[in-house]
Chains A and B, each alone.
Chain A
Amino acid sequence: MCLAVVGKVEKIEGELAIVDLGGVLQPVSLVMVPQVQVGDFVLIHTGYAVEIISEEAYNETMELLKELRWE
């Protein structure tokens, strides 16, 4: 039930965005991510954008691999 999908913000109209979900356009509420901009990727759950996907953080995930080295 905590399923979420990722979509790209195509247009912003007040508190709503038109988000592209792999070719399907859907209105999504932006109340929880007021700082969002057109072009951002957002995590969407039950019609609300819950979080903006941070591309910078991708490298942090890769850093974790270093934890797994056994000397």
Chain B
Amino acid sequence: MGMINANLLKMFNNLMNLAKEKGQTINLMEVCGTHTMALFEHGIRSLLPENINLVSGPGCPVCVTGEEVIVEAMDLIENNTVTMFTFGDMMKVPGEGRTLNELKAQGFPIKVAYSPRVALEFAEKNPKIEVVFFGAGFETTAPALGAVILEAFNKKLNNFSVILSVKTVPPAIHFLFSQEIRINGFILPGHVSAVIGAKSFRFITEKYQVPAVVTGFTAEELLLGISLVVNSILKREPGYYNAYPTVVREHGNIVAQKIISEVFEIGDAYWRGIGNIPSSGLFLKEKFAKFDAKKKFGLKDRQPIIPRGCKCGEIMLGKVLPPACPLFGKACTPEKPVGACMVSSEGSCAAYFKYGRR
């Protein structure tokens, strides 16, 4: 889809007027940081009537990575001779008040990579250098991380290891429902669904009778997604839609899923700002233990670090909006983030801070 389809825009506006007339409060939750950003950037929030709220769920993997994991990565680089590669948005996440950016400025070998393959190739070319890749991600990123581990395994690399924080979205949504949330409709992550399939979120409608839509990231795709969910709510017929069929199949990408299940096993995981969510984490299988940097360098397990006064947990559960947090914009800003929702540009507090309320 390219230009905004006039027909779609007309339907969207008609629906919004209808929703406004009916007057019921409608809370829609998006569960993807890229959606959070896109909804602000395209100005879509400003097209919604007062009684429709967009709430940002736990949709940003960097945000929900525990602060203690960042501290572990910094420990590793300070106390060992390693070259570290990481994704760009990990660089400014604070751990106990320090960041990887600051360590890099002090001269530690930390490089930003757009792909974990960059780290693997560097390790291959430099067999005498210990290389560590530090990354966080959801199901979109998990197969790429898995593919790199498999390649390192097949090539018998001895100087490559990883610190990963890989989590899965469906268990987090199950968890949201266990928390008595007041969400009337879900806007589901398009690229996570590309990997795991539209089928993976059907439980939202089938088990919980809440309408949901898998959608893309253009203004048009988001308008269509929101229209379908609002329409479903107004008609009181909970529907489930794949509004991103050019990319998302019902069963997803089977090859990518095979890579994930070959490399990772499922376990409970700690989500920054929320806490422990059962079966929501992906961890390296024993077969690949030699690539686990924590084991390789004997890093100690750390307790989760929980910032005081931060309302991130409630924000990600859709209970309050970012401005309701006493730290928002005062003690907690994108430059000096305290909580999970402010640490990445995709976090809901960071998006609110940048774009304002609407």
A47 touches B191 (CB 8 A): no
A50 touches B228 (CB 8 A): no
A29 touches B245 (CB 8 A): no
CB of B96 to closest CB in A, whole Å:
23
Report A-chain residues with C-beta under 8 Å of the C-beta of B239. 67
Contact of B138 (CB < 8 Å), options: A2, A43, A70: A2
Complex: A8 Cα to B201 Cα, angstroms: 29
A68 touches B147 (CB 8 A): no
Complex: A61 Cα to B137 Cα, angstroms: 28
The reply to whether the CB of A38 lies closer than 8 angstroms to some CB of chain B is no
Report A-chain residues with C-beta under 8 Å of the C-beta of B228. 64, 67-68
The reply to whether the CB of A25 lies closer than 8 angstroms to some CB of chain B is no
CB of A33 to closest CB in B, whole Å:
7
Report A-chain residues with C-beta under 8 Å of the C-beta of B136. 1
A61 touches B245 (CB 8 A): yes
Complex: A54 Cα to B194 Cα, angstroms: 12
Report B-chain residues with C-beta under 8 Å of the C-beta of A51. 194, 247-249, 253
CB of B349 to closest CB in A, whole Å:
16
Report B-chain residues with C-beta under 8 Å of the C-beta of A60. 242, 245
CB of B285 to closest CB in A, whole Å:
18
Query: Which residue of chain A is the closest to B8 with respect to CB atoms?
Result: A65
Residues of A within 8 A of B (CB): 1-4, 29, 31-34, 43, 45-48, 50-51, 53-55, 57-58, 60-61, 64-65, 67-70
6 A-B pairs with CB atoms under 8 Å apart are A32-B253, A45-B144, A47-B115, A53-B247, A54-B247, A65-B8
